[in-house]
Amino acid sequence: MLLFVNACLRDGSRTERLARMWLERRAYEGEVVELSLAELDVNPLDALGANPLAEYSRSVADADYGHPMFALAKQFAQADEVLIAAPFWNYSLPAKLHAYLELVCSQGVTFDIDETGGYVSLVKAQRITYVQTAGGAKVEAADDHSFGYVRTLALRFWHVSQVTCVSAWGVDAPGADVEDLLCAALAEQ
């Protein structure tokens, strides 16, 4: 199963269009499951919110993953491949995607810690593709707190061997041919 995590929150999103172009080009032969974060009540772990940190911590300590807050992590762990689509916002990613990833990074579900303190992957996927578009010019890798963050999670927690990014930059520039920029981003892959 290819899990398509759609973190595009606007109608007519160019990032979503690029992700759908990637999916079409990828021609994945198995089941594609789309998870629209715009339609989910995904909240960060905190003391008072919909996903209370104390309950999460207690569940992890007891290795009890029956609470609904672990459903997204379980789904992620079972995916054979993951596609994440998110616009590049303020040098980072949308808060809703960050909250989703916070829930996905569940010890005992998507990763664990061995006796030496090292991370052990519990996910099936060995390929994660991150799709993003940005209104402005391409930034240096050190300033990209979007794909850089996802790549770090993929490499460190999940030991995913193939982590790639498809980026279209400058889509809001005056006179930009958005379709050409999207096609060029795909051609670089």
Both tokens assigned to 25: 């080009």
Strands (E), the chain: 2-6, 32-36, 45-46, 51-52, 81-85, 111-113, 119-121, 127-133, 162-168
Contacts of 151 (CB under 8 A, 6+ apart): 130, 163, 165
Per the CB < 8 A criterion, the answer to whether 28 and 109 are in contact is no
Give the CATH number, domain containing residue 172: 3.40.50.360
Angle at 10 between CA 8 and CA 16, to 5 degrees: 40
User: Which range marks the domain in which residue 161 is found?
Assistant: 2-187
User: By C-alpha distance, which of 68, 93, 90 is closest to 152?
Assistant: 93
pTM for the model: 0.94
Structurally, the chain folds into a number of domains equal to: 1
The CA distance from 27 to 21, in Å, is 10
Q: How confident is the model at residue 174 (pLDDT cuts 50, 70, 90)?
A: very high
pLDDT digits (tens, 9 = 90+) for 86-144: 999 889 999 999 999 999 999 999 999 999 999 999 999 999 999 999 998 888 877 88
When pLDDT is cut at 50, 70 and 90, the band that residue 181 belongs to is very high
Exposed e or buried b per residue across 26-57, where buried means at least 16 C-beta atoms within 10 angstroms of its C-beta: eeeeeeeeebebeeeebbebeeeeebbeeebe
Sheet of 162-168: strands edge to edge? 32-36, 2-6, 81-85, 127-133, 162-168
The first and second tokens of residue 137, run together, are 């010019």
- Whole-number pLDDT of residue 30: 95
